[in-house]
Structure 1
Amino acid sequence: MASSAYSSVFGVDKSLSGRAWQWRGGNMALSGGQYGDGDIVTQLLFSRGVAREELDMHRNPTLRNFLPDPSQFQDMESAADRIAQAVLTREIVTIYGDYDVDGATSSALLIRLFRMLGHEAGYYIPDRLLEGYGPSGAALVKLAEQGSSLIVTVDCGAMAHSALQKAHDAGVDVIVVDHHKCSAELPRTVAMVNPNRLDESEIGASHGHLAAVGVAFLLAIAVCRTLRQRGYFAGKAEPNLMALLDLVALGTVADVAALHGLNRALVAQGLKVMAHRDNIGMAALIDASRLKRAPVCSDLGFALGPRINAGGRVGESTLGVRLLVTDDPDEARAIAAQLSELNEDRRTIEAEVQQAAEALAEKQHNRSVIVVSGDGWHPGVIGIVAGRLKEKTGKPVLVIARDASSAEGKGSGRSIAGVDLGAAIIAAREHGLLVAGGGHAMAAGLTVMGDSIDALADWLDERLSAAVSRASASAVMKLDLSIAPSGLTPQLVETLESAGPYGVGWPGPRVAVGPVHLVKADMVGNDHVRLVASGNDGASFKAIAFRAAESEMGQTLLHASRGRKLWLAGRAKIDDWGNRTQAELHLEDAAWAD
């Protein structure tokens, strides 16, 4: 194997997808010591930046090892004090959440916290189409008029200066629990709990990768500590906050938060809680997703999360929260079934917008940032379409749904590693190109006047072209190990998964399998390429490349000479279809071996 992190693997400087192959972390040769040579899990941890003295804590990521003191975060104690006061004096409290999975799980977590504390909190989830993202001044004022003296916004509010000023003027206290980028001037609030505040403490800022639901969990700890200090739990048991970790895991993974440090511990422990099925709504969601086993990390992003999202995207925005807080099994089953139906509707709508957006994107091959827009596109699917286009083009993408009645467009963007789209969108807003906008490095949302879209596209292209060029020039496929086809086994998959959970910031291991020749190659489903490959050791295996049939790699594989040797690279997964459990390869890249 290669001895340098910068040497190409198997001499692959340009794969079928145009990338160089490199070993992640240098090579698979271990330096011995406590775990000995050949320990795959140890190598996976090393190559993800774990120091030798921290191997044990990362092999089993627990909250005890990763949880910070919540009071280290700006405004955390102020927020906890105000919520504790509301509990003690039985105030009317409303949780104002975003309509996506992070917002739904954050809302559900705080609602369940209040129930654990013997108090009931209401909730308000805005309609994506009628109200758009973030707190609206009208909604906050109406909640105040209905009696709420405290409103806690979750996964929104960091940039809602006007709306929060209106709430203040109406005499209602607002706490913001968010993780999106902030401007130097913060909105008018009782407390702004957000690790991405520009004035955040060093410890707080080091947790800027938390999803809003992770921030909400830290707030729950701080609230219980404050109430403990005030004697609230004298003579009665304190809430078991660990029971809320299934919500934290779902929101964190579905929001594509980086899975390192605390997030990794939250998700690892949250999956254990989820397996117990104590949350009736979560159990119904798992059943509606047709999972016959306890969920794993990838299920949260590809099975459970999309169903919760479907309510906010193409249905009723409150469905996700209602499901995750209900204690009625019949209601839970009914809502979960409704969300599954809405998710199928979302797929159909998404496919229509995807086709139209791809046709427009093909005309922008010289652009560094792809910006496409269309009349009547459903705002609920543009984020998904932007993500698909980003994967296909390898560039940052903005997809904007224009509304002829208002002359405005609602946009959603997805970026590539090394290009901070959220900062660019905030800058565009400050430059006067947007009505509203914000986000983080990899994703952003915006509102723009229709006649400003072309100017926005030109401005983003100029601002980000250098960053995109740098990111594209350094595009490589990072591999963790290579195996012969006979080594692709369920036992290997189990070993690799034990170093998880995997996600952004803690990438799932990639294996190279080969050399192989293709026994079969055809197209199945929606643009997928299915392969059967065989190696010199006589072993064969199945592989599938999702949404790859129209790509250069997909076309090459479909028409490749059956006698020519290849290396196949991707993720080793379990194929449990049929009577015998086998391992298969989810193909991400391929390269000629001769």
Structure 2
Amino acid sequence: MEYVWRQTPRASSQLIEQLGKEINVNPILANMLINRGVESFETAKNYFRPSLSQLHDPFLMKDMTAAIDRIEEAIANEEKILVYGDYDVDGTTAVALVYSFLQTFYDQVDFYIPDRYKEGYGISDKGVRFAAENDYKLVIALDCGIKAIEKVALAKELGVDFIICDHHTPGDELPQAVAVLDAKRNDCDYPYKELSGAGVGFKLIQALAKRKGIDESALYSYLDLLVVSIAADIVPITGENRILAYYGLDRINNTPRPGLKALMLSAKIEKEIGISDIVFKIGPRINASGRLEHAKASVELLISTDLDLAIERAKLVDEVNTTRRNFDENITKEAFEMIAEREESNSWNSTVLFKEDWHKGVIGIVASRCIEKYYRPTIILTESNGKATGSARSVVDFDIYEAIAECADLLDQFGGHKYAAGLTLPVENVTDFQAMFEKVVKSRIEEAHRKPVIEIDDELLLDQINYKFYNILKQMAPFGPGNTEPILRISQAYAENVIILKDKHLRFNIVQDGQVTKPVCLGFGLADRAKDPDHTIVKMLQGKMRFDIVAEMRENFFRDKSSLQLYVKDIKFD
């Protein structure tokens, strides 16, 4: 795939010089920090040394007082409380977090995860009736419910109260719940709007602890669950999320709960775990149960208190994840074939595919795979309970939620946010929806949306690659949306010692005129280029043809020695 390289605008020389002097960093680092909102000694202090004391008062969130009042009323009256959550990573970690906290002082509490295939996303009719039939007077819904107008109304008729804790975009009408906690509400003045579903759950237990006089430090043991939610749900790692992720990573690396420790062992993570490890190794395993079987297994794993039991549960989850990968590969292959057939007759701005027997649990992953290859807004649909149901994924800066909303007349329901959404529609509407969605995307999409962009922080000379520089880069973590890992450009270089690794990767030393340092470059993701019939890229590198690269700087450990390497994101030859 061809990338567009885009240089982040450089801050003013005066601001760069001023910050550099205040915190004793070079101009390249000062510019990177300014572009991340760090412009003074004070903001740098908060950025490099985030503190839990910087977390906002949870009672600033609209309806929080009403939510806590109702929970205290339920406890005083010994009412049964049901903690209800979505079946993905965010939902299951949120349920594990809130349920575990409530259980420390109240035993009339249980949890419920809807069945993806029998009940679908969010609050279900079956879930509401389960609560009523089993005498649960209060349901705390996590990572879902912001659009469950009819289901919450049904619950009210059946004598069940709801507290909604969600982070998705609300519709024009809110459910008539006791409390609706969502910072994205138009009438909510909470200072930070990008919490994950588990993040809203954490604010709820933070408020409850405050009301009950429980020391806030008692909540820090739940931050390992919260960082998994933040990473896996791809929310911005800025503001409050960055503080929570920072301390969550500390927790998961030093004293993880047994369930997460078991998952780390299962994933063979032996080094310090970071955001990307959660995204690619931990998150998919937690997700697997909800995708193929029932997500209740994931919650049971996450709330395990015995490591041996957790390891056994993690093995079962891992087996399901292996099956999930097989489904994923087969359906992705079919999707690519369908796209190739469509391309023969038309030029498309979007991808909407439907096949009635595709596994509902992996269509979101398949949508992401299609974007990796074709890079355009994508919706993958399958048939479930007589309806077409699907997952949508978007490209950078294109709001797929708004595009779907323009097709609402053809849909039964939909929900989500800018980059990911879910939808359900009658099977007979699929063809019309495909045409309507394409029309909407065509009218909205801009040239800048058609190719993936690599945002470059700054240009570097090879002799500037040293541990003093790298150690400051490392302290800029945790990285993710809103605080991306710095991307550096190296210009007019050539290669030595070019090696193809496992027919997939490239390894070479990068050389630059006038520079002594010759670090190793690893070209992960250059496999397709390395496999071309004439090995063109390899020949160009071996022929010492000049090129520019964009790369991330990483530390490598081998035989008790460490070195700095460049992980190549893209390469362009003269």
- TM, length-normalised to structure 1: 0.87
Give the structure 1 partner of residue 520 of structure 2: 541
Q: Per-residue deviation at 1:326?
A: 1.4
Letter in 1 for 2:125: G
Give the structure 2 partner of residue 440 of structure 1: 417
Q: Per-residue deviation at 1:548?
A: 5.6
Give the structure 1 partner of residue 572 of structure 2: 591
Q: Per-residue deviation at 1:269?
A: 1.1
Give the structure 2 partner of residue 499 of structure 1: 476
Identity percentage of aligned residues: 27
Matched, 1:165 2:143: no
Letter in 2 for 1:369: S
Supply the distance in 2 between the matched residues of 1:535 and 1:171 (Cα, whole angstroms).
72
Of 39, 56, 72, which residue of structure 2 is paired with 1:84? 72
Give the structure 2 partner of residue 218 of structure 1: 203
Supply the distance in 1 between the matched residues of 2:526 and 2:323 (Cα, whole angstroms).
20
Of 8, 12, 17, which residue of structure 2 is paired with 1:31? 17
Matched, 1:569 2:550: yes
Of 334, 337, 348, which residue of structure 2 is paired with 1:356? 334
Relative to structure 1, the CA distance from residue 529 to residue 227 in structure 2 (aligned partners, 3 Å threshold; closer, same or farther) is same
Q: Per-residue deviation at 1:491?
A: 6.3
**1:124-523 alignment runs, 5 A limit:** 124-201=112-189, 204=190, 206-228=191-213, 240-362=218-340, 363-364=342-343, 366-403=347-384, 406-429=385-408, 432-472=409-449, 476-485=453-462, 493-514=470-491, 515-517=493-495, 519-520=497-498, 522=500
Relative to structure 1, the CA distance from residue 416 to residue 184 in structure 2 (aligned partners, 3 Å threshold; closer, same or farther) is same
Tell me if structure 1 keeps the 8 A contact 2:403–2:437: yes
Comparing 355-364 with 23-32, greater Cα deviation is found at 23-32
Comparing 151-160 with 393-402, greater Cα deviation is found at 393-402
Supply the distance in 2 between the matched residues of 1:471 and 1:382 (Cα, whole angstroms).
26
Matched, 1:557 2:545: no
Give the structure 2 partner of residue 12 of structure 1: none
Q: Per-residue deviation at 1:546?
A: 2.7
Letter in 1 for 2:17: S
Q: How many residues align?
A: 561
Relative to structure 1, the CA distance from residue 278 to residue 117 in structure 2 (aligned partners, 3 Å threshold; closer, same or farther) is farther
Supply the distance in 2 between the matched residues of 1:48 and 1:323 (Cα, whole angstroms).
37
Supply the distance in 2 between the matched residues of 1:189 and 1:410 (Cα, whole angstroms).
27
Letter in 2 for 1:133: Y
Tell me if structure 2 keeps the 8 A contact 1:22–1:476: no
**Structure 1 alignment gaps of length 5 or more:** 1-15
Q: Per-residue deviation at 1:438?
A: 0.6
Tell me if structure 2 keeps the 8 A contact 1:181–1:422: no
Q: Per-residue displacement from partner, 1:108-132 (whole Å, max 9, x unpaired)? A: 1101110233435211111212221
Letter in 2 for 1:54: T
Comparing 249-258 with 553-562, greater Cα deviation is found at 553-562
Letter in 2 for 1:530: L
Q: Per-residue deviation at 1:340?
A: 1.8
Q: Per-residue deviation at 1:490?
A: 6.6
Relative to structure 1, the CA distance from residue 282 to residue 411 in structure 2 (aligned partners, 3 Å threshold; closer, same or farther) is same
Comparing 456-465 with 281-290, greater Cα deviation is found at 456-465
Q: Per-residue displacement from partner, 1:141-163 (whole Å, max 9, x unpaired)? A: 12221121111111111111222
Tell me if structure 1 keeps the 8 A contact 2:498–2:541: no
**Structure 2 alignment gaps of length 5 or more:** none
Q: Secondary structure at the match of 1:380?
A: helix
Q: Per-residue deviation at 1:31?
A: 1.2
Q: Per-residue displacement from partner, 1:287-341 (whole Å, max 9, x unpaired)? A: 2221113312221111111111111112331122111111122221111122222
Supply the distance in 2 between the matched residues of 1:523 and 1:458 (Cα, whole angstroms).
44
Supply the distance in 1 between the matched residues of 2:397 and 2:136 (Cα, whole angstroms).
43
Relative to structure 1, the CA distance from residue 568 to residue 400 in structure 2 (aligned partners, 3 Å threshold; closer, same or farther) is same
Q: Secondary structure at the match of 2:484?
A: coil
Give the structure 2 partner of residue 530 of structure 1: 506
Comparing 472-481 with 583-592, greater Cα deviation is found at 472-481
Tell me if structure 2 keeps the 8 A contact 1:28–1:480: no
Supply the distance in 2 between the matched residues of 1:27 and 1:17 (Cα, whole angstroms).
31
Q: Per-residue displacement from partner, 1:194-249 (whole Å, max 9, x unpaired)? A: 11223322xx2x52211111111111111122233xxxx6xxx7770111111111
Relative to structure 1, the CA distance from residue 394 to residue 26 in structure 2 (aligned partners, 3 Å threshold; closer, same or farther) is farther
Relative to structure 1, the CA distance from residue 160 to residue 296 in structure 2 (aligned partners, 3 Å threshold; closer, same or farther) is same
Of 53, 67, 88, which residue of structure 2 is paired with 1:64? 53
Relative to structure 1, the CA distance from residue 407 to residue 88 in structure 2 (aligned partners, 3 Å threshold; closer, same or farther) is closer
Tell me if structure 1 keeps the 8 A contact 2:169–2:416: yes
Tell me if structure 2 keeps the 8 A contact 1:490–1:581: no
Tell me if structure 2 keeps the 8 A contact 1:553–1:589: no
Relative to structure 1, the CA distance from residue 63 to residue 437 in structure 2 (aligned partners, 3 Å threshold; closer, same or farther) is same
Give the structure 2 partner of residue 9 of structure 1: none
| 4+ long deviations beyond 6 Å | 550-555
Relative to structure 1, the CA distance from residue 551 to residue 130 in structure 2 (aligned partners, 3 Å threshold; closer, same or farther) is farther
Supply the distance in 2 between the matched residues of 1:553 and 1:72 (Cα, whole angstroms).
57
Supply the distance in 1 between the matched residues of 2:397 and 2:172 (Cα, whole angstroms).
23
Tell me if structure 1 keeps the 8 A contact 2:115–2:294: yes
Letter in 2 for 1:535: V
Give the structure 2 partner of residue 116 of structure 1: 104
Supply the distance in 2 between the matched residues of 1:397 and 1:421 (Cα, whole angstroms).
9
Tell me if structure 2 keeps the 8 A contact 1:423–1:439: no
Tell me if structure 1 keeps the 8 A contact 2:3–2:451: no
Tell me if structure 2 keeps the 8 A contact 1:84–1:227: no
- TM, length-normalised to structure 2: 0.90
Q: Per-residue deviation at 1:18?
A: 4.5
Q: Per-residue deviation at 1:550?
A: 6.6
Relative to structure 1, the CA distance from residue 210 to residue 192 in structure 2 (aligned partners, 3 Å threshold; closer, same or farther) is same
Relative to structure 1, the CA distance from residue 17 to residue 83 in structure 2 (aligned partners, 3 Å threshold; closer, same or farther) is same
Q: Per-residue displacement from partner, 1:154-176 (whole Å, max 9, x unpaired)? A: 11111112222211111111111
